[in-house]
């Protein structure tokens, strides 16, 4: 937690926010801050600045809000739904890296039971996104969309996403090496552990998506995603 | 597990290997292979090919060994010792990505207790490396060196590593953006969660290491490492 992120429901007044249990624990045990110390805080979807800690009431009073959150990645990330444990870490990591549009998608090799996971509940997703923001000192909450059917997504949703965006689909075969430092925004689709099937690859291709690969090594989704994002755009 | 990796101690003869408990479980429960089915296998530090499964004795007989393992990254990775849980995942991920020389290093902001972790025992490290190899269909075991003192490493070990290699140290301040697609081998040093301290940065700089950064976002070590490796060299 490199930033204490303050959500609207924590506000006591314009300047005062009460701290969540998780934040109290972090401030007390990791940061070891005293009454009256300054903390780096950010307002959810807003600016970043300093606040003063009131340890008796476990609240903070904002003193300054002067910094913009860091730059974002100009992309829409489409991710075949990973298994729940991998999903948690992936949501945190892609949020920390600056992805702001996330589409979780069904695919032939995604187990249907994954869609029932409590990780996918709105509150739970929110918590992982917030952890990613606090890690990266960001304040802007990503939007996460869930698409439980592959074909309607590709036929009805994807065309709009591809307006003025380059379409890329990660696939190990019949693909070009992943490009580096794109100058335009993109849509990037990353498959499940067993990969996209033939029908799905045909649909991506029909939609105008270009196949890119990461070489001969098979990486876990949690590694493949940062590897791909890091090649597509330089960190800023 | 995308490859069944066969170690010398599993050999019953030139062609026959007995399977480990972990491999048996994977073959039975995930791959769901039958007696007589073919499996993709690799010989530790050797070639990759096909073997036939004997399910009654849980052994395999190699039929062909025709493929070279995938290409490796031309680098030495120096990593301030992460906390044990992060270390496990990081060892697996960097092995999967093709790092073959790993130096775990002490630093001012590494908790001394981390060096006592059972994760650092030789057998335990071996298991995480093997998991990384099996993930990426690789066979070549990385070498892991443990350096419990910072200064002797930088003064006595590093100069030899830097012969014919470019030296880079990840640091958020007074640094250039991380370069992309190096043509030469490198040494890359990645700090602990709190970063390198001033003395350490001075020592890296005195040794000829150049500072590189990943932008304004603070990433976890497990994300920062794939992000850096992926920019330094294209996947092959």
ipTM: 0.92
The DSSP-derived string for B195-232 is ---HHHHHHHHHTTPEEEE--S----HHHHHHHHHHHH
Please write the tens of the pLDDT for every residue from A74-106. 999 999 999 999 999 999 999 999 999 999 999
pLDDT of A236 higher than 90: no
Question: Measured between CB atoms, does B95 come within 8 Å of chain A?
Answer: no
Question: Are B187 and B53 contacting, i.e. CB atoms less than 8 angstroms apart?
Answer: no
Mutation site for A-interface testing, chosen from B226, B228, B231, B232 by largest number of A Cβ within 10 Å: B226
Shortest alpha-carbon distance between residue A184 and chain B (Å): 18
Residues whose CB falls within 8 Å of the CB of residue B208, separated by 6 or more in sequence, listed in order: B162, B167
Shortest alpha-carbon distance between residue A10 and chain B (Å): 25
Beta carbons of A71 and B136 less than 8 Å apart:
no
pLDDT (mean) for B48-66: 97
Question: Measured between CB atoms, does B111 come within 8 Å of chain A?
Answer: no
Closest C-alpha to B170, from B148, B145, B200: B200
pLDDT of A1 higher than 90: no
pLDDT at residue number B236 = 81
Share of chain B above pLDDT 70, in %: 100
pLDDT of B173 higher than 90: no
Mean of the per-residue pLDDT values for chain B?
96
Please write the tens of the pLDDT for every residue from B97-110. 999 999 999 999 99
What pLDDT band is residue A172 in, cutting at 50, 70 and 90? confident
Please write the tens of the pLDDT for every residue from B208-228. 999 999 889 999 998 999 999
DSSP code at position A174: S
Domains and CATH numbers, chain B: 4-67 (2.40.240.20), 75-232 (3.40.1280.10)
Mutation site for B-interface testing, chosen from A132, A183, A216 by largest number of B Cβ within 10 Å: A216
**Cα gap A147→B81, rounded to integer Å:** 40
């Amino acid at each position: 937690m490199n930033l204490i992120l303050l959500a609207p429901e924590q506000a006591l007044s314009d300047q005062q926010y009460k701290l969540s249990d998780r934040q109290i624990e972090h401030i007390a045990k990791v940061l070891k801050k005293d009454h009256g110390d300054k903390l780096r805080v950010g307002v959810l979807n807003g600016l970043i600045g300093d606040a003063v800690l009131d340890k008796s009431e476990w609240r903070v009073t904002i003193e300054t809000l002067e910094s913009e959150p860091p730059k974002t990645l100009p992309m829409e990330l489409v991710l075949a739904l990973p298994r729940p444990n991998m999903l948690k870490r992936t949501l945190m990591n892609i949020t920390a890296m600056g992805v702001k549009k996330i589409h979780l998608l069904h695919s032939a090799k995604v187990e249907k039971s994954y869609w029932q996971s409590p990780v996918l509940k709105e509150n739970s997703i929110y918590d992982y996104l917030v952890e990613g923001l606090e890690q990266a000192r960001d304040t802007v909450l990503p939007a996460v969309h869930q698409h439980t059917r592959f074909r309607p997504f590709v036929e009805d949703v994807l065309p709009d996403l591809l307006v003025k965006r380059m379409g890329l689909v990660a696939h190990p075969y019949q693909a070009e090496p992943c490009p580096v430092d794109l100058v335009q925004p993109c849509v990037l689709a990353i498959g499940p552990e067993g990969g996209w099937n033939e029908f799905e690859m045909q649909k991506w291709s029909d939609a105008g998506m270009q196949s890119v690969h990461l070489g001969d090594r098979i990486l876990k989704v949690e590694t493949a995603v940062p590897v791909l994002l890091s090649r597509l755009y330089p960190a800023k």
